[in-house]
Structure 1
Amino acid sequence: MKVLVIAEHDNGKLAGATLNAVTAAQAFGAPVHVLVAGHDTAAVAGEAAGLAGVAEIIAVDAAHYRDQSAENLAVLVADVVRGEGFTGVVAGGTSFGKNLAPRTAALLDVAPVSDVVSIAGAGRYVRPVYAGNVMVTVESDEAIQVITVRTTAFAAAPSGGAAGVRERAPAADLGVSRLLGRELSKSERPELAAARVVVSGGRGLGSGEKYREVLEPLADRLGAALGASRAAVDAGYVPNDYQVGQTGKIVAPDLYVAVGISGAIQHLAGMKDSKVIVAINKDPDAPIFQVADFGLVGDLFEAVPQLADGLAAG
């Protein structure tokens, strides 16, 4: 058996999800190869080659892979899998992986398995259902296993490897899609999905102005990323990429501070694996307190500034 990890990157640096996917792929107990497809990606291939546990890097360089379109990449991955005898394909459970894996599986005529949190071996996986309230073991007898993995469930692969880099010819450009533009939010704060500390706000904050006024000082003191509940996003307090939950980002930081968040199932599914959860809410019966390690019942507009001031003084 050979396992192929699909590298996610921006043509200059590997995405953190790839490091988690490499760790997950090692659970198959087979050689792990990494496919780096893009344009001018020598630095990315070199970074991937330095990951511990990687046997080989397959580098494919072509202009039509610059934008990482799923249509072109799926054809390439299917060609590599068929041509080189891979029986496992692993991608991170990000927007990139969720877009690519089903297309690849369809081309290979197999059924994929998504959102895997544990791998017992080829064809036997654990994944969450019912918004993470139930964990099920699923079995797949497909000849080629195509899976996406929840990145928070696997440690990032460390450096220390010295894999070789082999170049491979690109597949044809299908020409069925074209990237017209990309708007990227820039912030000096840590990236939400990978942050060690997250401060999230909910509808209880009342407005986008109050969200920033109340939460940003606390996040600054903690060096935290900012997140939000779906209710806060839907109300227009913050952009969509702040959303934590089943239909947002899945996070598992060392510390998660939930401010003015009631704790709907959808939100809990995205953060309940955090190591320490602190909840601040005026409603003592809020569901968030059922998963919180520490809870404070009170007015967030008084409690959060006091907490931020206390951290500053300390």
Structure 2
Amino acid sequence: MGRAILSRHAGRQILRRLSRSDKKIPMNRSLPFYIQQFHPFHDQAPCPGDLAVDMIHIWWALLDLPDVCTTSFSAMLNTEEKTRTYRMSGVHRQRFIAARGILRMLLGHYLEQRPETVPCGRDASGKPRLTDTAGPPKIHFSLSHCRHMGLFGFCPNRVIGVDIEQIRPISNMDAIAQRLFSAPERTALREAGSSCRPALFFQLWTMKEAWAKATGEGLRGFKGIEIPGDHAAGDKGEWTYCTDRMRKSWLLRPVETLSGYAAAVAVAADPRPAEQIPATYPS
């Protein structure tokens, strides 16, 4: 781990007030998959080398942290990240800084670097990436945050995307579904009971958004992949195999975090670099 910002005693005192500790839980299907809560400034982070080929690590974290944590995270950010914070204020700024700081801490663990030295940047689509290599990335990663929750995904050799949303009623759910969901997805949503519709809507949304983040498509690409409604509402231990409009293959699954949130991860089914994967496959 990079240099500790807080003393071990102070870090543990903060963590006792903030949240409980979770054990790492393996959930194997077609790819090894681990999900764990991350506690900033605590010595329970992954050891370098833990992230093996084809392994998926998902971390979730609380972003409403004490001011001392925000100050420490701010010192880790690069010029571009700090410039973005200047356009924010209040809790939105604090949560953005926390999410970026936690991302840097986790990348620092995996890359065996100090968090502030991790070369984070963005590609042409705005997707976060490492900027210090002209070849294949040393690690693929994705982050998402909603209100006080952050979600972070890592894989050494597969493109990855994650998304998290708070489950809540929204008045224009049908209009959004009409614009961004496929016909079968809208049917699954329409047939769901009224009490289940918000949860199904946001589970479909996060699975599609995770794919969109993995590809860099954004909202414009939401109809480019179709999630079977029964898979979105089903067993969170299962991967769903999907093919997008370019006939590229993806593995998607819901992710369990805190109650009241929907979350998902998408990874490329083909581990080759994106530029080596053909846009179409033979029948």
TM-score by length of structure 2 reads: 0.30
- Give the greater-gyration-radius structure (CA): 1
